[in-house]
A and B are shown apart, each in its own frame.
Chain A
């Protein structure tokens, strides 16, 4: 008998350990769920970690109001299946109450930070699981599994707590919280291999479908309530799928004929463009756009 785990099962074991550790040491954890592939995997790992009991913390959706219908339907179905409590924190409500102002262009990604921090403090959550992965982005590559946030929700990359072995430091004062990233060591390909391996259901927009799009800044944006053709943009039909799911105003689709999970695994394994590079307008502002947003308290 050879006592070895496959890479995916080793990653799973590590993530499950993180979930259990947080449930044991924090008063009020919450899992941030967007309906995207990473949070779907996170939710499955949480389900595995506590089986046969229910997941012992609620799930929170920071809702930009710029959603894909398929994703909201998926969220509600999954939450009902697991019997977990859903908290919705609405960016629209933050705008209506004057906490934030709509930005020119209508992108709401950055506004989410205020909504998220307000909701964490309103509910007294002291730990928030996020689906961020270190392979996504260069600032994230430097982040800990337990990412400490001060009273203002800020991340200080130069002053992070050392993280050794699998011994996590959960200590914090009232008002402070810790972001927890159980998928830190997973890559986009690992996520898809796991989804295919486990046969996990995903929102249909991740699979190839025909949709009317416009080409903007080198990305394909779906036309609809949030995106209307501007200037000389010509809408056209294309066979596309989404690699990431975010604010519908700035999340681009990629041309794809992948109709099954195995097709996606093959496509992701062969792709030469990162998921954020291909699909996120918000990361294109500057070399350090993500670092700057994270310092403010972003996911």
Chain B
């Protein structure tokens, strides 16, 4: 069975991240001849000494001109074992928001470290964002090993330094691979140049890492997304609640409770186009048919009687700010959480987090673009939520500027705020 793995990459401008992705695509034969000819042409015209695989991912005119990655680019490749979706995010300081975007859906993060430069401030920042966004698996690629003579000591030193830093973060699975993206060492095949390295190649690692168990299969959560009422003669009384299972496993016959009403009922059937199913689990899109005729609408939450989400209007959250105008206490914004939309007031900015030192700046008065901080929010209607660390789907929200309609903040819920 072929599975889907979403991965996010991060690295500094010159770490060779785009080259690594180009290499993964090239060596797994996902680069097509016309694409290769096209980048060969461009590389030649620019006078590059070798084919610049970064051109495969840097698609926008401005990126090619400046030789940088501006926005999150999505890339796809597949092996017989897995289909991979890569969110390739730029590593520069000012693009934290793109990294957070790419990381939000990732099962695994690849962080690139230049073997010559060691663990830089940027590497720390990437690791921190990966842990903040709760990416379950972190793979550190120590790149450009060819430029340090494939020296095992260099690799070990970087590994120790990175581990020491990661101890301060909430990282559950951390692995290291010494590579040369340019030459392909340890990317798809194990390299003959580093006999001292006993681990698998990067691709092998990506194929084998176990991700199915990362999803929350314990807390039954079903945010109602859309009410299906056909109003046709064939399905006269049909009323189904469509949505994505955000947690737990639902089965026909299960007792459930609907929030905010608190009414209890049972699941009569779980419908899909191809026929009813016996079980629904994350991230399936299904339609629940309930035994009783209740008043249920979009934004309601179906959960289990003895395991319900927290209900409340006051939440404590980490927010990554993504707009040019700063966030301050007193700001009013639109909020979208699961399938609920409401308005939110920033009651308090508790602190700003210096993402390089992890130091809390307690007297911060605002969050500017690309800063991360802890806020207390009050919402106009109750939210049905879990801590982000327990459930990424019911613990996350976005903030929207009501004037510009832009998405300006990404939030991760810590719990209720006093």
Contacts and interface: CB of A to CB of B under 8 A. Distances in A.
8 nearest interchain CB pairs? Answer: A138-B59, A277-B34, A53-B230, A48-B273, A16-B285, A171-B405, A7-B83, A20-B226
Contacts of A190: 83
Nearest to A15: B285
Contacts of B83: 7, 187, 190
A142 B284 contact: no
A230 interface: no
A274 B100 contact: no
25 contacts: A3-B215, A3-B281, A5-B283, A7-B2, A7-B78, A20-B242, A20-B285, A47-B273, A52-B271, A134-B76, A138-B58, A141-B59, A157-B71, A158-B71, A161-B406, A165-B398, A171-B405, A173-B405, A185-B85, A187-B78, A273-B33, A287-B61, A287-B64, A288-B61, A291-B60
Instruction: Name which of B60, B74, B232, B283 has the most chain A CB atoms within 10 A of its CB.
Output: B74
B177 interface: no
Interface string B224-251: 0110111110110010001110000100
Interface residues of A, number: 63
B140 interface: no
A12 B405 CA distance: 29
Given A51-B228, A52-B230, A165-B392, 14 more contacts: A2-B212, A3-B249, A5-B4, A6-B3, A47-B273, A49-B242, A52-B238, A158-B60, A163-B101, A164-B101, A164-B105, A169-B398, A173-B405, A185-B85
B226 A23 contact: yes
A278 interface: yes
A13 interface: yes
A263 interface: no
B98 interface: yes
A169 B243 CA distance: 17
A282 interface: no
B59 A272 contact: no
A8 B78 CA distance: 12
Contacts of A23: 226
Contact of A53 (B3, B64, B74, B231): B231
A172 interface: yes
Contacts of A167: 336-337, 396-398
A164 to B, nearest CB: 4
Interface residues of B, number: 79
B12 interface: no
A20 B59 contact: no
Contacts of B217: 3
A11 interface: yes
B328 interface: no
Contact of B405 (A135, A158, A169): A169
A158 B320 CA distance: 19
Interface string B307-327: 000000000000000100000
A4 B1 contact: yes
A173 B402 CA distance: 11
Nearest to A138: B59
B35 A277 contact: yes
Interface in B33-74: 33-35, 38, 42, 56-62, 64, 70-74
